[in-house]
Structure 1
Amino acid sequence: METTLITDLTYVEAPAAPVAPPHLPATMLTTRLKRACITAVFYLVEARLLWRYLRTPARIKLAAERIKDLKRAYYGELAVRKIACVAGRYYREYQTPGWPSPAYDTYVATTVNRLVPFRADTDTLNLVFLAITKKCPLACDHCFEWDALNQKETLTRAHIHEMVATFQARHVSQIFFSGGEPMLRVNDLVAVVEAAQPGTDFWVITSGFNFTRENAGRLKQAGFTGVTISLDHHDAARHNAFRGSPQAYNNAVQAAAYASEVGLVVNLSLCATQEFTTEANLMAYARLARQLGVAFIQVLEPRAVGHYAGKAVDPSPAQIALLEAFYLKLNYGSEYLDWPMVHYYGYHQRRMGCGGAADRFLYVDTDGDLHACPFCQKKSGSALCGSLDDSLAALKTRGCHPFKSTSI
């Protein structure tokens, strides 16, 4: 890739022919026996953790019943069928740590403590989206940080260290670094995660820019778990146009290959625009993801914030039905068990509400300010000054914007 640095803010990229997506090894468990064995192991691990945390049969029984109710509220009558294996760890969901790991134990402990308290704190956060830079070489159609993009940086490496330590002390089991383009601060990412304590999985959310083979290896060596790569179309030209860069598609596909090579979990993140959302496009995208051997596909619905502010970008009811059918088919259809898992948060939001606003997750912007989520931004205190307890309480009280329900 030819990239010429002009100033601190401006990048000029040479156009290039689309790379042929490589055929990468699959991460999904492909046989029924393997899936059954690992599922049984998960049950045994969770039973052991319940005993460790609760100690009495009555409390364990109560927690098991409440966990069952929670799963029923989230999945309905569906049961997780698919399991991915990357670098010796097993994953059943995108936003749940893989097992075995301290992060998985942390996640289970926070979930259990929420249902049957066994420790003094009342922390419920499972994950944090932490934006660490305003800088980005792209001009994406849907960018929710558009107004802050390429302004003067606020967060230092010391600030990022401080916030990570603060959230780890609150038992956060996953931290996703975003931006801007966080790979522009790869040295800071490596230093921060190298200094972090066990118990948290770290991910980077990237367009693929600066995600070289060397940098992929550095992230893995530092302790990163995975990478979320923004890829918004299976067609190179359309993705490049959406991202405002002639190299965007090549960068994303190459990043997936480098991440797979070093043993990072790969999630492809799709903004399902009105123009994109057809059955043909969704299945073509899924075939590409399968070819790239990724573990997850994340489907995001566009929101009228940032660069989309004031625009009618919400999917139609028919498109929502199509996205939900895609989610169900890929995750539960017998013929798709070796395809990537689909994470479609909108499906669950419509059924049990939003988990943002410091209920289960929150968003920290590039100034260190707290928000309900990346798409519902209204400052409620800071992660760097003042009382974090008060700020989190304010977030919970204010909540997220009402999520539109459907009759689907």
Structure 2
Amino acid sequence: METTLITDLTYVAAPVVPVAPPSLPPTVLASRLKRAFIMAVFHLVEARLLWRFLRSPARIRLAAERIKELKRVYYGHLKVRKIACVAGRYYREYQTPGWPSTAYDTYVATTVNRLVPFRPDTDTLNLVFLAITKKCPLACEHCFEWDALNQKETLTRAHIHAMVAQFQARHVSQIFFSGGEPMLRVNDLVAVVEAARPGTDFWVITSGFNFTRENARRLKRAGFTGVTISLDHYDAARHNAFRGSPAAYNNAVQAAAYASEAGLVVNLSLCATQEFTTDANLMTYARLAKQLGVTFIQVLEPRAVGHYAGKSVDPSPEQIALLEAFYLKLNYGPDHLDWPMVHYYGYHQRRMGCGGAADRFLYVDTDGDLHACPFCQKKSGSALCGSLDDSLATLKTRGCHPFESAST
């Protein structure tokens, strides 16, 4: 049978005792000398890649100038200071492949081709969020796919194979499998990634459900790079209430431990609700992430879509200021250089606009339809039928809505 699904999604109604989070060694480098050395290696690697792609001193200088300007727009006066090492690869950003890898070279090639074209295609996609199942055992407060949950499946394993191949042909360097709960289709995940060609990092976005030690090892053997685990509170009871399951916290914490043990990069994803966003909560959450030895913390702002549709969930200007201060403290503060790196897309989105709508990333829903991003859904063609080139062109033309928030 091509598609394997767990159909009984009901938790046993039994008392769940919160597990004690393990204390795992940090993956973020603590040594200033080692950080400086690896950063110098990155510069040499990128110089080598520029020569490989462009083969002209004048074009290399032009690319270097444009890359410098791109970094200035994205980071402002900030300089990347932190580096993590997992399974022999080094990471500076959550949504950038680690080096050394074919995926890293692919990412740099697409970035350079965007700035100084050296190949005939105009593909600019770096990242795809690919939802592979409608099934989920949880009832999350913020779920953006709420209306599609536990409906009849559309995507077969063959569909997922085909979509991955199409996006790889367009030089996509990262694919994040989501849902629903993608670990319900772990057999399909393993089969698809085993069959994929080199040049793409694969991640799974999960609540931790069905993320056993053996399944973590299977993902790593198949070629997965990392796992993004949804953990929305350091307090077990509050996370369980947010996720609608008494086992959600245990599943998330154990998944982080199993993933680290297997050599997968671990990112904790936090939906920073109005109720959660205080300085004390953010720092307590970061301490838990450090204890778990994770590499990244992703901060997401809630959006009034899906289960939150019609609700006032945007953070206040004061809370946005807290989130930005947290991002700056954890990534650039001298007292947190070996703490997990924070990925807060909202910080950069407010300064340089959105990279969705097939500019740098897009979202494919559980029917194979294309959207600007998981939170900005409006069908713009299909990844399963018709011309993908035409669908991507339509998506780019429609674009994303202007980024608006309580801070503007």
Specify the TM-score bucket, using the shorter chain as the normaliser: over 0.9
| 1:374 aligned residue | 374
Partner in structure 1 of residue 42 of structure 2: 42
**Distance in 2 between residues matched to 1:177 and 1:7, nearest whole Å:** 19
Measure, in 2, the Cα distance between the counterparts of 1:43 and 1:318: 38
- 1:288-308 Cα deviation digits (max 9, x unpaired): 000000000000000000000
Matched residue SS, 1:400: coil
Aligned residues: 404
CA-CA distance at 1:10 after TM superposition:
3.6
Whole-Å separation in 1 of the counterparts to 2:319 and 2:289: 21
* Cα offset, 1:6, TM superposition: 10
CA contact (8 A) 1:14 1:247 kept: no
Q: What's the offset of the Cα at 1:11?
A: 3.7
Aligned amino acid, residue 99 of structure 2? W
Partner of 1:283: 283
Once the two structures are superposed, the pairs formed by residues 9-408 of structure 1 within 5 Å of their partners are 9-404=9-404
- Cα 1:220–1:369 shift into 2, 3 Å: same
Secondary structure of the structure 2 residue equivalent to 1:77: coil
Task: Give distance in 2, aligned partners of 1:28 and 1:6.
Answer: 36
Q: Which residue identity lines up with residue 300 of structure 1 in the other structure? A: L
State whether residues 6 and 184 of structure 2, in contact with CA within 8 Å, keep that contact through their aligned partners in structure 1. Answer: no
Q: Which runs of 5+ in 2 are unaligned?
A: none
Q: What's the CA shift for 1:401? A: 1.6
Shift of 1:405: 5.8
Taking the aligned partners of 1:38 and 1:48, their CA distance within structure 2 comes to 15
Partner AA of 2:82 in structure 1:
K
SS of the counterpart of 1:228? strand
CA shift in 2, pair 1:121/1:283, >3 Å: same
Structure 1: runs of 5+ lacking an equivalent: none
CA contact (8 A) 2:23 2:291 kept: yes
Offset of residue 407 of structure 1: 5.9
- C-alpha distance in 1 between matches for 2:224 and 2:401: 32
Could you list the per-position Cα deviations for residues 165-192 of structure 1 after superposition, in whole angstroms to 9, with x for gaps in the alignment? 0000000000000000000000000000
Q: Which secondary structure does the structure 2 equivalent of 1:337 belong to?
A: coil
1:13: how far off? 4.8
Report the 3-state secondary structure (helix = DSSP H, G, I; strand = E; otherwise coil) of the residue aligned with 1:298.
strand
What does the per-residue CA deviation read over 1:129-149, in whole Å, with 9 as the maximum and x for residues that have no partner? 000000000000000000000
2 CA distance for matches of 1:193 and 1:230?
22
Q: 1:15, CA displacement in angstroms? A: 2.8
Residues 211-235 of structure 1: per-residue CA shift (max 9 Å, x gap) = 0000000000000000000000000
1: distance between equivalents of 2:31 and 2:332?
15
Aligned 8 A contact 2:320 2:407 in 1:
no
**In 1, Cα distance between the equivalents of 2:68 and 2:407?**
26
Deviation digits for residues 261-294 of structure 1 (CA, Å, limit 9, x no counterpart): 0100000000000000000000000000000000
Contact in 1 for aligned 2:369/2:379 (Cα 8 Å)? yes
**Secondary structure in 2 aligned to 1:122?**
coil
Aligned amino acid, residue 125 of structure 1: L
CA displacement at 1:406 relative to structure 2: 6.8
| Counterpart-to-counterpart distance in 1, 2:9 and 2:282 | 34
1:21–1:291 CA contact under 8 A, matched in 2: yes
Question: Offset of 1:237 from its aligned partner?
Answer: 0.3
Question: In the aligned structure 2, how far is the partner of 1:319 from the partner of 1:222?
Answer: 41
Preserved CA contact (<8 Å) 2:315 2:406? no
Question: 2: CA distance between counterparts of 1:55 and 1:13?
Answer: 64
1:8: Cα distance to partner? Answer: 3.9
Question: Which SS does the other structure have where 1:285 is aligned?
Answer: helix
Q: What secondary structure, in the 3-state scheme, does the structure 2 residue paired with 1:40 have?
A: helix
Check whether the contact 1:6–1:12 (CA below 8 A) recurs between aligned residues. no
